[in-house]
């Protein structure tokens, strides 16, 4: 006899308070004991709003408008708030995306774990100590008094995330909601966290909902997938079916936008922008971005229908979509041919760098040829960003060594470089939220390099700004907007446009796709590839994502602890690594296999 679902949600609807606008509409799903359900979609699709509704919570300004959520037979949505609070941690728990903002910075790790047990009256003091030790062991953290006495700021990002998971599991809930628990972690830390989560779910007998935009990660974890778009469930089914035989065009395009570790193929972003809940109306919300659209798709919202046993889709043309293979077009190989030393745009020799007395780069040397993309890969703390900042003249600590740009000696500090050198090397930072002045318009931000370097006649610079916006595939009318009026992907495009305004020869890209959706990542990589071809642009691309490296880079350098371990053409390093550390990185990188399942 099949097991009774541990979670059963029916008609879950979340609306904007007072307006009736539905952010999440009529979502049905179930979760079996020890099952992992993947919840997938772009930013704004409703993943986090739905996952919060599953714990009986609505964000300020929203309300749980309709539906039912039952966990172990206990109703959450219709229950009084006090009963919902008692259920959280005991029946269902939640692991948020950002551990640093979700752990109390003024309370030790041990005290925060004890509080969870005390609130739910779990066990005696001795039993609580044993339970805390057991759960710390399961999340691979020390159970020592010294560790329990630490404060959150004394932990690494990976340790903070494990503490959050331990807090969610300590009361043995029946369901754990994991909201992007590995976003921003390097591949080795991510691999350890995923392995730990699998063991924890199996040993605790819990079920889990894994919220993410990374299909390769969730396919490695989940038995079933739910794909969300514009607040609607658009596809649900076994992971191998949704990935291998997608029944909705949106799922298919997400897969096409996901880079492959095993083969170099061009990525294609999803054109257009998702509809907001107010714009959704009674029609297929994906119609304006869909290659299979018919007039009937715009007439009414399709119903969710079964296309195969256990496999549902909200698409009129689901059978046609299922018959089409999900394949990305071949990339055509590398875009450049490595030349002689005379063609080197950048040469680094004997570079060492330090913060205070801590040496973080050890006598490094590298070169980048004209038109080449060199990827710099390593875990957090490997020295990638420090090296990139030295190249950009932005390293705040001490450094020594020789840098040459286009044959000329390059000072280690940007302030001591010539105008031509500062113009020729431009830097795109990881976080566009922090690198774009929120008080300046897009037009002012992009125009600044034109004014600083006196590029073009003053009277023509507004036209140059509009042309740069077109070059990065943004509407020229965006010049009047402020950064907070843009999506994350649009902000990153503005940052790239600002760097291009200086007409650089070398573009330093520091983790520019690490925290964006796969569809936005694909469009940014597609844009950078086009810029290389059109402008003969040279790229130093810093990342921890080896699948992205396979997509964009001609050569790759592997760093660990501030030292180069391996260097060579991308295909050689990824297909036949010579260093055990590179092999470890490859082993820990999730692989999306569109022919079946994800593999390691």
Decide if 374 is inside a domain.
yes
Q: How many domains in the chain?
A: 1
Tell me, what's the pLDDT at 325?
A: 62
Decide if 532 is inside a domain.
yes
Decide if 107 is inside a domain.
no
Residue span of the structural domain in which 471 resides: 341-544
- Please give the average per-residue pLDDT across 300-324, as a whole number: 94
Burial grade of 179 (CB within 10 A; 0-12, 13-18, 19 or more): buried
**Nearest alpha carbon to residue 316 among 277, 280, 290, 278:** 290
Decide if 87 is inside a domain.
no
**Direct distance between the N- and C-terminal alpha carbons of the chain, in angstroms, rounded to an integer:** 33
Residue 185: count other Cβ atoms within 10 Å of its Cβ: 21
- Summarize pLDDT for 254-276 with one digit per residue, the tens: 998 888 888 887 788 888 777 77
Q: Which is higher by pLDDT, 459 or 595?
A: 459
Kindly indicate the confidence band of residue 595, based on its pLDDT and cuts at 50, 70 and 90: low
- Please give the average per-residue pLDDT across 405-416, as a whole number: 95
Burial grade of 344 (CB within 10 A; 0-12, 13-18, 19 or more): buried
Strands of the sheet containing 7-16, edge to edge, are 22-31, 7-16, 62-71, 74-75
Q: Is the dihedral of CA 295, 300, 301, 307 positive or negative?
A: negative
Q: Which is higher by pLDDT, 555 or 273?
A: 555
Tell me, what's the pLDDT at 98?
A: 76
**Nearest alpha carbon to residue 312 among 324, 323, 302:** 302
In order of 10, 93, 393, 504, the CA distances from 53 in angstroms are 12, 12, 47, 48
DSSP 8-class letter at 156:
-
- Please give the average per-residue pLDDT across 2-21, as a whole number: 89
CA–CA dist 436, 438 (Å, integer)? 6
CA–CA dist 88, 374 (Å, integer)? 48
Decide if 361 is inside a domain.
yes
- Please give the average per-residue pLDDT across 394-420, as a whole number: 95
Task: Provide the CB-side half-sphere exposure for 407 (13 A, CA).
Answer: 5
Q: What are the helix (H) ranges across 425-487?
A: 432-435, 442-452, 461-471
Tell me, what's the pLDDT at 184?
A: 67
Tell me, what's the pLDDT at 214?
A: 83
Q: Which is higher by pLDDT, 247 or 487?
A: 247
Helix (H) or strand (E) holding 507: strand 506-510
Tell me, what's the pLDDT at 596?
A: 47
Decide if 257 is inside a domain.
no
pLDDT higher than 60, residue 332: no
Tell me, what's the pLDDT at 516?
A: 78
Decide if 464 is inside a domain.
yes
- Please give the average per-residue pLDDT across 189-197, as a whole number: 84
Output the average pLDDT for the chain.
89
Tell me, what's the pLDDT at 339?
A: 47
- Please give the average per-residue pLDDT across 487-491, as a whole number: 80
CATH number at 371 reads 3.40.50.300
Instruction: Give bridge partners of residue 583 from the DSSP assignment.
Output: none
Decide if 223 is inside a domain.
no
pLDDT higher than 90, residue 531: no
Tell me, what's the pLDDT at 296?
A: 93
Tell me, what's the pLDDT at 328?
A: 47
């Amino acid at each position: 006899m099949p097991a009774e679902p541990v979670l059963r949600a029916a008609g879950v609807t979340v609306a904007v308070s007072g307006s009736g606008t539905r952010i999440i509409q009529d979502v049905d799903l179930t979760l079996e004991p020890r099952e992992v359900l993947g919840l997938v979609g772009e930013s704004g699709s409703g993943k986090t709003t739905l996952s919060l509704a599953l714990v009986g919570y609505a964000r300020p300004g929203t309300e749980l408008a309709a539906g039912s959520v039952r966990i172990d037979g206990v109703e959450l949505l219709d229950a009084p708030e006090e009963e919902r609070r008692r259920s959280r941690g005991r029946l269902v728990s939640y692991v948020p995306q950002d551990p640093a903002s979700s752990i109390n910075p003024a309370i030790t790790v041990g005290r925060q774990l004890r509080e969870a047990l005390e609130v739910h009256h779990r066990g005696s003091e001795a039993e609580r100590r044993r339970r805390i030790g057991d759960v710390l062991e399961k999340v691979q953290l020390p159970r020592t008094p010294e560790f329990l006495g630490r404060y959150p700021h004394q932990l690494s990002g990976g340790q903070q995330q494990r503490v959050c998971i331990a807090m969610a599991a300590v009361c043995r809930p029946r369901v754990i909601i994991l909201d992007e628990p590995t976003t921003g972690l390097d591949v080795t830390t991510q691999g350890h966290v995923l392995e730990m989560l699998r063991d924890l779910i199996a040993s605790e007998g819990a079920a889990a909902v894994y919220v993410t935009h990374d299909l390769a990660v969730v396919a490695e974890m989940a038995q079933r997938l739910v794909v969300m778009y514009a607040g609607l469930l658009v596809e649900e089914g076994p992971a191998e079916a949704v990935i291998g035989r997608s029944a909705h065009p949106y799922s298919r395009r997400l897969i096409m936008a996901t880079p492959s570790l095993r083969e170099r193929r061009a990525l294609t972003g999803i054109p257009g922008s998702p509809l907001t809940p107010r714009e959704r109306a009674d029609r297929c919300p994906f119609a304006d971005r869909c290659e299979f659209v018919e007039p009937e798709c715009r007439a009414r919202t399709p119903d969710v229908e079964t296309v195969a046993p256990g496999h549902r889709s909200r698409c009129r043309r689901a059978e046609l979509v299922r018959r089409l293979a999900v394949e990305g077009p071949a990339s055509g190989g590398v875009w450049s041919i490595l030349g002689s030393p005379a063609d080197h745009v950048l040469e680094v020799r004997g570079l060492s760098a330090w913060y205070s007395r801590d040496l973080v780069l050890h006598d490094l040397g590298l070169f980048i040829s004209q038109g080449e993309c060199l990827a710099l890969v390593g875990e957090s703390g490997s020295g990638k960003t420090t090296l990139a900042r030295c190249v950009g003249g932005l390293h705040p600590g001490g450094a020594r060594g020789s840098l040459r740009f286009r044959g000329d000696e390059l000072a280690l500090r940007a302030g001591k470089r010539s105008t031509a050198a500062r113009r020729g090397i431009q830097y795109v930072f990881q976080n566009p939220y922090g690198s774009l002045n929120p008080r300046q318009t897009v037009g002012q931000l992009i125009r600044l390099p034109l004014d600083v370097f006196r590029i073009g006649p003053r009277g023509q610079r507004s036209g140059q700004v509009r042309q740069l916006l077109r070059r990065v595939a943004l509407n020229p009318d965006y010049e009047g907007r402020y950064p907070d009026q843009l999506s994350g992907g649009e902000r990153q495009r503005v940052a790239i446009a600002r760097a291009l305004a200086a007409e650089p020869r070398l573009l330093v890209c520091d983790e520019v796709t690490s925290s964006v959706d796969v569809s936005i990542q694909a469009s940014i990589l597609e844009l950078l590839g086009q810029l290389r071809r059109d402008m003969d642009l040279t790229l130093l691309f810093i990342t921890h994502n080896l699948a992205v490296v396979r997509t964009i880079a001609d050569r790759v350098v592997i760093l660990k602890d501030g030292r180069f371990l391996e260097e060579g053409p991308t295909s050689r390093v990824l297909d036949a690594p010579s260093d055990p550390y590179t092999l470890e990185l490859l082993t820990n990188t999730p692989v999306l296999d569109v022919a079946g399942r994800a593999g390691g």
